[in-house]
Amino acid sequence: MPLSHDQITRFLKSVHPYDALPTDALDELAKSIEVWEVDADHPVYELGHAMPGVFVIYEGQIEITDENGVVVSHLGLRNSFGERGLLKDGKAATKARTHTPSVLIVLQPDLVRELIDAHDVVSKFFNRARAPRATQQSLATSRIDTLMARDPATCAPDTTVQQAAQLMRDRGISSICITEGDSLFGIATVRDLSGKIVADALPPSTPINQIMTREPVTLSPADIGSDVLHAMMERNIGHIPITEGGRLVGMVTQTDLTHYQAVNSAELVRRIARAENAAEMALVTAEIPQLLVQLVAGGNRHEVVTRLITDIADTATRRLLTLAVTKLGPPPVPYLWLACGSQGRQEQTGVSDQDNCLMLDDSVTDQDMAYFVELAKFVSDGLDACGYFYCPGDMMATNPRWCQPVRVWRDYFKGWIAKPNPEAQMLASVMFDLRPIGGSYELFTELQVETLANASANSIFVAHMISNSLKHTPPLGLLRGFATIRSGEHRNTLDLKHNGVVPVVDLARIYSLQGQLPEANTRARLSAAEAAGVVSASGARDLLDAYDLIAETRLEHQVKQVKSGNPPDNYMPPTSLSDFERSHLRDAFVVVKTMQSAVGHGKGMLG
């Protein structure tokens, strides 16, 4: 499909960083790029070959695989790829292949370099591609409170070395701190036991304080990883107690440093993609809370953090599908596994259940259905074992209602649009966030286009969806205060999910319906809605800023919980914020409320 200059310009206005370029620069850019039309299942570039440039997807879907042929990402509209290889050494570190017929905008290498030299916003964007902030926030520059093990093992000074050794053995650790109350007196390690007890033939009844290292080197949680590295190298030690105000609060060992360096999203994806069963995957997904801590500590934006965490869930799902087919044999007809909810929107945090469904080719027979019942159970059980717990509302492929041929799904959407009763509104809200994960993607493509067109054309349905979206409201009280939860176990807290991010998620879904926009991700929907003229530039920017602040606050709250040894949730006491933070969070909620009011009163988003 040949693209006009105006089409390219309008499109680039919806893609960062090109949306921030001056008008004349954007116009020149549109004249300088190439447009590739690539058939389905065709390579875009091969591993190790020279990179032809940076790609932006105008239409279609792209599959990225690593050197082992493992799928590391599925990309769609407005996603870009190729930056890393181009800017690193000019050679492809991955393989890109079209999943569907695709139209790609290509910025040749020289053009990319010219843009980097001429425009700071482009330079910053591609510098992140060259060395992502998560990588820049290396071990050496990470705060110790993201590295240390909490609740270190302790014993009293008169504890025998045998008792101390037994405690270390039982906990699988190599050091123990000697304390009285919260005060640290010394530290003893496995090396002390071998070098001072075994080597000198001292009795097991020897008090630990006779062999401990007195007044050991300590650091504080606010110090950084380089302080640990330098202290260990200078003094030839492998254990450093962490104290705060004289109180023992943690321990950092060489093992902790190694583990920290090993925990990154790519490594977790690699291990899951090679797992032989759900139990092996569960060992990997158990590291997601620590990954969340590191990604946030690394200064990554919330949409990057949630995308990387969602990629892990996607990989687990695809791996389970592969294992299911290995166990059950080839599927009798083409199928497509889709995710909805936060996974569908690529917005998973440290707290996620599973929401999914199966679309089957219309040639499926009643006899074939038994295969997909088994496949759905295998995958959903595996996801549950990995910590993606069963959906309380049973929005899963294991529910026969959500494991159906495409023709039944088409009838579902038509029925919800034609008769938008409360259940239809709820189901439509969930199912409009569908995103293909594994299988035959073409089963969904036509249905999605058709459904968006039908939904946007039905003003009554849109009105009902707007009404449904306003059920989740920001937690605003009187006199510039917050309306916290009044009773129950979460009393006096803010629900940063249902009253925080969900109102923005719902607004973005309404905009996508009105503009027939295929994006599922909330931030992508808001940007696309602005580019399509569904919402004004000022309204979109205000809402994006508000959403960013709310989502960042939610992630930071979850990180604090993980660092405190607690499971992450969405319930934050506003008293945990400073006055400055509370003021800005309330302003963000006001923006959301204002945009809800505009939609609720039918005042068009362009006003």
Residue 259 has a pLDDT of 67
Name the residue among 225, 408, 434 with its Cα closest to residue 341: 434
Lowest mean pLDDT among 28-32, 86-90, 191-195: 86-90
Does the structure show a pLDDT above 50 at 130? no
Band of pLDDT at residue 134, cut at 50, 70 and 90: very low
pLDDT in tens, 331-370: 999 999 999 999 999 999 987 889 999 999 999 999 999 9
Does the structure show a pLDDT above 70 at 124? no
Q: What is the CATH number of domain 140-260?
A: 3.10.580.10
3-state secondary structure 392-455: CCCCCCCCHHHEEEHHHHHHHHHHHHHCCCHHHHHHHHHHCCCEEEEECCHHHHHHHHHHHHHH
Hey, what amino acid is at 268?
L
Residue 478 has a pLDDT of 60
The Cα–Cα gap between 533 and 536 comes to: 6
| Edge-first strand listing for the sheet containing 34-38 | 34-38, 102-107, 54-59, 80-81
CATH topology of domain 470-600: Four Helix Bundle (Hemerythrin (Met), subunit A) (1.20.120)
Residue 140 has a pLDDT of 64
Averaged over 465-476, what is the pLDDT?
Answer: 89
Residue 606 has a pLDDT of 38
Q: Which residues have C-beta within 8 Å of that of residue 130, sequence separation ≥ 6?
A: 83, 84, 87, 88
The Cβ of residue 75 has, within 10 Å, a number of other Cβ atoms equal to 19
Residue 423 has a pLDDT of 86
Q: Supply the angle between the helices 579-600 and 537-563 in degrees, to the nearest 10.
A: 140
Does the structure show a pLDDT above 60 at 106? yes
pLDDT in tens, 427-469: 888 888 999 999 998 999 899 989 999 998 998 999 989 988 8
Q: Which element (helix H / strand E) includes 508? A: helix 502-515
Hey, what amino acid is at 398?
T
CATH of 5-131, one of 2.60.120.10, 3.10.105.10, 1.10.220.70, 1.10.150.50: 2.60.120.10
Domains of the chain, residue spans: 5-131, 140-260, 288-419+427-449, 470-600
Kindly give the pairing relationship between strand 356-360 and strand 435-439. Answer: unpaired
Residue 71 has a pLDDT of 60
The Cα–Cα gap between 254 and 232 comes to: 9
Kindly give the pairing relationship between strand 34-38 and strand 571-572. Answer: unpaired
Name the residue among 30, 63, 259 with its Cα closest to residue 142: 259
- Write down the residue that tokens 């037994």 correspond to: 166
**294 exposure class (CB count in 10 Å sphere: 0-12, 13-18, 19+):** buried
Residue 127 has a pLDDT of 63
The Cα–Cα gap between 38 and 61 comes to: 11
Residue 129 has a pLDDT of 44
Hey, what amino acid is at 551?
A
User: What token pair was written down for 391?
Assistant: 């959906």
Band of pLDDT at residue 136, cut at 50, 70 and 90: very low
Name the residue among 523, 151, 114 with its Cα closest to residue 310: 523
The runs of H, that is alpha helices, within 98-224 are 109-118, 120-130, 133-136, 161-171, 190-192
Kindly give the pairing relationship between strand 95-98 and strand 43-45. Answer: antiparallel
Classify residue 103 by its DSSP letter: E
pLDDT in tens, 22-57: 888 888 899 999 999 999 889 999 888 888 999 999
What are the Cα distances from residue 510, in Å, to 262, 411, 523, 600? 41, 21, 13, 11
pLDDT in tens, 539-580: 898 999 999 999 999 999 999 999 888 889 999 999 998 877
> Length of the chain in residues, anyone?
607
User: What token pair was written down for 106?
Assistant: 């290509």
pLDDT in tens, 296-315: 877 778 888 898 899 899 99
Q: What class has domain 288-419+427-449?
A: alpha beta
Q: Which residues have C-beta within 8 Å of that of residue 437, sequence separation ≥ 6?
A: 74, 314, 317, 318, 321, 337, 338, 339, 343, 356
Cβ atoms of 338 and 346 closer than 8 Å: no
Kindly give the pairing relationship between strand 154-155 and strand 175-180. Answer: parallel
Name the residue among 262, 346, 355, 344 with its Cα closest to residue 304: 346
The Cβ of residue 113 has, within 10 Å, a number of other Cβ atoms equal to 14
Hey, what amino acid is at 448?
Q
Name the residue among 53, 42, 101 with its Cα closest to residue 80: 53
Cβ atoms of 525 and 509 closer than 8 Å: yes
Whether the upstream peptide bond of residue 332 has omega within 30° of 0, thus cis, is: no
3-state secondary structure 545-581: HHHHHHHHHHHHHHHHHHHCCCCCCCEECHHHCCHHH
**Mean of all residue pLDDT scores within the chain:** 87
The Cα–Cα gap between 244 and 238 comes to: 20
Q: Supply the angle between the helices 459-469 and 502-515 in degrees, to the nearest 10.
A: 170
Name the residue among 405, 489, 499, 417 with its Cα closest to residue 450: 417
